[in-house]
Structure formats: structure tokens, C-alpha cells
Structure 1
């Protein structure tokens, strides 16, 4: 009976789909983040506490923590923000949730919404890196799980109220292979509901002993959020492309759709950057860094990773996991950065000498002066979740009026 009930509940997952909270209306002007983001001065929002044991690592030791916050996933709903994160609270590990009225001050629920799987199951050793989507009737929680064999795969849980959660009985929903690019692990999934189609970007890992090992971003589609078809052209980022630091580590994707364009916030396990796409499949990786541990406070001087991006007015908000090391101890937590979204008009000519409006990222140093210069600004303040604009917009009304809507481009569909 439980299996039948689960099937009936899952049947509701796609009955009343609504646009993902990652999306904005299609008629909004196309905008992209200006280079460099401003960190909230009160970071971290949630930080590790309660050191309890020394753990050996790389011939040294560091202090582990009984309470730790990692891999945030944030949505905006009903005039508030909701976060899910993995980690531990008072030595209890799992995936937890928190709520906030302003995206900064969080009320953390001390019990996990998803704990480790039962002994002998595929996720009995770890559940982490959640991504949550609200489809109008259910919260869908995609997460990375692993068992005693250490294989990472993507699982699904669902809830009507963020209080009572049910694992999908046929987990995992995304497994490794058969392609080389994800022949070992599939993890760090991000899902949006785009014109009635569930679209997933995830991190693929090839076999660990490969001489050409790399981390890639791969793509899959689903009609119901459960049964996934991987794109035959995977990976969509990685292998043949190098990141801004010259490596081929593309991980932790978080995708937002703006008009007819897509922005992917991702990292190389050290710094957070982004990539852009017209269809969600063909991506161009930026050489610019949005969030970096360089010059950061001690608590985050090691790495910034695992971002969750959300559009709010003229800003792109990025919650991320920051890590640092001080006096042999690991210091880390969840932080917030804000990027200004800007509009840029470029002109392209065809054989018929027609003009189209497209978007591109503005990469401008603070000392440059051009007709379209957008300077990095301070963090400013956060308005209410429903506020139209966070901080100061540097785009003039005349420029906005002068720009047309982005030309709609046909989206390539993956092969089954």
C-alpha cells in the first residue's frame, strides 16, 4: 500500500507545474551579472560551531564540528526565503531546512528533513548537496547520496509541506554512466522547470583512475522529474573547455533563466564563476570570478563553492559554502553575496544587414570609463523578498527603454 500511495503522490508532481523560483518572466530584459560580487559584511550567515574532535587529514589534524552548514539551496516563496542545506546539528547529520524573511537572518529547524538511509540502502553513508524545487503542489528535493561503496548518485524526496518527507521508492533517479564523462559519480544536481520540462544540470565524474580525469557539467531532461534522459552530447561544460584558472573542473551548477538566456553559477572547488547559454545546452564559460577566497577573512580563506543563485530585481543573490583553515582548524559556513545585473546591447549583422539585440557579460575594471561602465558596488541592503530592486541599479532608464527584448532562440532538445 505504501508503494501505491507513493505512486499516487508522485502523480501529483506534474499536475500543476509553475515556473521555478529560479526563473523570471520571459518578457524581462536579458541581464547578466557584472564582474565581481559584494559579500554581505556580516558573513557568515550560518557558521560551524561546537568543535568536538580532532580528525586526521593529509598528515595533520583539524577540529571537526558537531554543527556545520554546507551546500545551501534557497528558494523564495510566499514572501519569505526557504533554505535547505546539508551538514550536521548537534552531531546529527542529514539535510536540514531554515526560513528567513530577509535572506540574511535564518531560523534553523534543528531536526533533519532527510536523514541517512537505512542500513544496506544506496544512501546509508551520506546525504548531502540538496536542491529543492517547488512545482505548485510539492517540494521536490534532489540530493546526492552514497552508500558503503562510496558511489555518489542523485536521489529524490518529496513533501507537500516541508515537514513530512518521503523518499522516492525507486531511488536513485540518476545513476552513473554509460558515458565516460559520468562513469563513476553523478552528483550536485540542479533542476528547473522550464516550459513544462524538468531540466537538470549535474556534476559528472569519470573513473577515478583515469589519466585525463576531469569534472564536467552534464545535462538531462525529464517529463515528470523522476525519469531522466541524459543528453547524448554530454558533457555540456568540461573536457574540451578550460575554466578561468586553466583547469577543467566544472562543478556545483546553479542555473537561473532570464528571458531567453540562461546563467549558470558554478565553481572549480575554489572560486565561483559563471557560464552563459541561449538554450541551456551550449555554454560559454566566463573567465571572470564572482566570489573568491582571495583576500577574504580567515573563515573563508580556503574555498568558496556550492552556490545557490536566485534572481531578485536587479540583483543576482548567491548563497554559498565558504571554507577556511586557521590554526589547524577548519572554519566554514554559509554566506551571501550580491551581484549587480546589467543589460548590454550588442549589434550583429547578417547578410540582410538586420540588427538583433543580444546580451553579453560586462567585464569592466573599476578604473575603466566607457559609455556602458558598471562599477562594482557595496552590498547595500536587502529589501523584502518581493522587493523590486535590491541595492542601486546602475542601468539608466534610457538604456533599458532603448533595448528590445532578447531574440528568442530555438532550444535544442537532447536525444533520448
Structure 2
């Protein structure tokens, strides 16, 4: 019998903390994952993927921790040939008094043989009642996109009057890399010629298998992207990178992953997609953590605005904390 030691991502780094020991949404609602949080007039609004009912749910909070009873706001279209089975992974912005949502529509989710994922679009005057555009606005076409485009992240660029989308493509269960596209109306999208614009770094074990589900924080001269990195064993954690233009010249955080699962807690098996809100004194972050078979939504906090790219030395252990004995 042989024994080896393997480094695995544990806990948090880069100035982030997990102030709570339990999730803020779940487990009484079943698996809740891949959320979008907006803060409006002192109130937090969360749209989240609700796996037991295959749709998008909604909840509100005054502190980002205690949430109202979730309600259903967006369901699959049973007559559709591309979003009949599940809708999830919303990206929502408010522009000119209207809410705009891009989301993932799926057929046979989790099935790598029959399944497919595409990105849809809907609008709403209040974020509750939605009118969908009945065709997908982005479907897998390029070789690297495989059978799935999903996990849209959309921002409105006021300076250039365009919508900017970062999205993931590849396999059905978890896509493999991140692409970029632009649109003048949110419906017709032009892919970037250098797609995928963000791929796994084989020299970093914490993301050597896949990178996916980018969430962008755009401020000052930087595009900060929080993304899921899958290590060589398929374990997910939240990593961070930055780029001047959000397309090229990506610089990984020296202490990746910044949020990972914690031993003995509800998020033990890993951390998936996040949503970040800039506060007056730092950042609030929501993430879906896994303790299989459940995924639930948790909360993390960063005091101050220095995200640590220039002030922290690079770790010499590949970005991993803790050890796992393998027999």
C-alpha cells in the first residue's frame, strides 16, 4: 500500500474571508447555484439557478445574508427545441429603466451525448416579470464551443455603446474555456476573432483542467475576472485574473485560488461561480459551494479595495492550502 501527499485548495486567500459557517441560501430549497446579485437602493436582489425545479428563482435581502422566501420568476419553455428542460445561470443588468437578462437554456442537461446548451435573452420592467426572445442569441458554432455555450456575463459599455459578453463553451456538464462577444442590441452577437480569450494554465494545478464561468468586476483601468478553475482532479475553486481590456494580457492572481472549499464545512467539495458587489468599504461576494449531492449559496467578504495583485508575493505551493493523503 502506497501513500502520497497531494495539495488541494482550502479556505480563502488574497484578503477574502468567509465570515459565516453556513450557507445564506439553502439547504431547505435544494440545490441553488450560479447566481446574480445586484444592489439597488440599499436592497440586495438575487436571481439564482434552482436545480430541483430547473428554473430561475429570486430572493431579496437587506444585509446580503438573510434572504426572503424564494419565488419563481423564469421557467423553461416546454415547447422549445433549445430551452425546454432547464433555464439557469442568469446575467442581469439594468439599463434605461429596463432589466436585461441573458441566461443558459438547456436540453438534456448533464447528458454529454444528447445534451445542448445555448444562451437566451429576456427583458423585464421590474426584474420579476420577463418577456423572452424566443430564439437563442448565441449557440455553439465554433469547434472549441463543442455542444455548449453557457454562463453568460454581460456588461453595458457606455463609452462605446455596446453590450459586452464573456461566456463559456465546451462540454455540457462543465465547459472548458471562456470566449468573448459584442453586440449593439443584446441579440446579434459578434464573436472575438481570438476566441477563446481565456484558457486553462497547465502550469497552475488549480486550473489545469478547465476554466469557466467568468464574473467581471470592471473598475478604474482594470477588468477583474473571477472564474472557476478546475484542478487536475476536477475539483473547482474560485480564481481571479485581471486584464486591461478584458480580452488579452491576462494576469493571474499570485495567490490563486482566492476562494476554495473548507474542510468540515458545507462547501467542502468546492466553490463554483460567484457574484460580486462593490460596497462602500470593500466587496461582498456570493458563491455556490458544494457538498455533494448539494450545491448551496454562501457569502464571502473583502475589506478594502486592494485585491492583492501588486502587494502579495506569489505562493510557492501552486496556490494550494492543506494536504490530502492518498492511499
Give the TM interval when normalised to the shorter protein.
0.7 to 0.9
Q: 2:300 aligns with which of 325, 337, 357?
A: 337
- The structure richer in strand per residue is 2
Equivalence for 1:293: 261
**d(CA) in 1 for partners of 2:283, 2:210:** 23
Equivalence for 1:230: 191
Alpha-carbon offset, residue 365 of structure 1 = 9.1
Residue 237 of structure 1: SS of its match in structure 2? coil
**d(CA) in 1 for partners of 2:172, 2:295:** 29
Residue 172 of structure 1: SS of its match in structure 2? strand
Q: 1:184 aligns with which of 144, 147, 152?
A: 147
Are the structure 2 counterparts of residues 246 and 34 from structure 1 closer, same or farther at C-alpha, using a change threshold of 3 Å? closer
CA contact (8 A) 1:243 1:286 kept: no
**d(CA) in 1 for partners of 2:62, 2:49:** 21
Residue 245 of structure 1: SS of its match in structure 2? helix
Q: 1:76 aligns with which of 39, 42, 56?
A: 39
The runs of at least 4 aligned residues of structure 1 exceeding 4 Å deviation read 239-244, 341-344
Are the structure 2 counterparts of residues 93 and 174 from structure 1 closer, same or farther at C-alpha, using a change threshold of 3 Å? same
Matches within 5 A, 1:259-408: 259-269=220-230, 270-282=236-248, 283-287=250-254, 288-295=256-263, 297-325=264-292, 330-343=293-306, 360-363=309-312
**d(CA) in 2 for partners of 1:145, 1:230:** 19
Deviations along 1:137-192, one digit per CA (max 9) or x if unpaired, are 211111111124411111111110122211113x21111122x2213211011111
Equivalence for 1:375: none
Equivalence for 2:91: 131
CA contact (8 A) 2:54 2:85 kept: no
1:44 paired with 2:5, answer no
Equivalence for 1:395: none
**d(CA) in 2 for partners of 1:107, 1:214:** 32
Deviations along 1:93-119, one digit per CA (max 9) or x if unpaired, are 310111111111111333x11111123
**CA RMSD after TM alignment:** 2.7
CA contact (8 A) 2:104 2:117 kept: yes
Matches within 5 A, 1:186-201: 186-195=149-158, 196-201=161-166
Alpha-carbon offset, residue 240 of structure 1 = 6.3
CA contact (8 A) 2:175 2:212 kept: no
**d(CA) in 2 for partners of 1:42, 1:144:** 30
**d(CA) in 1 for partners of 2:157, 2:93:** 12
Equivalence for 2:131: 166
Equivalence for 2:321: none
- How many residue pairs match? The answer is 290
Extract unaligned runs of 5+ from structure 2.
1-11, 109-113, 231-235, 316-327
Q: 2:30 aligns with which of 55, 67, 75?
A: 67
Deviations along 1:354-402, one digit per CA (max 9) or x if unpaired, are xxxxx94432599xxxxxxxxxxxxxxxxxxxxxxxxxxxxxxxxxxxx
Structure whose CA Rg is larger: 1
Structure 2 length normalisation: TM-score?
Answer: 0.81
Equivalence for 1:220: 181
**d(CA) in 2 for partners of 1:365, 1:95:** 39
Equivalence for 1:119: 79
**d(CA) in 2 for partners of 1:220, 1:140:** 16
1:94 paired with 2:55, answer yes
CA contact (8 A) 1:40 1:335 kept: no
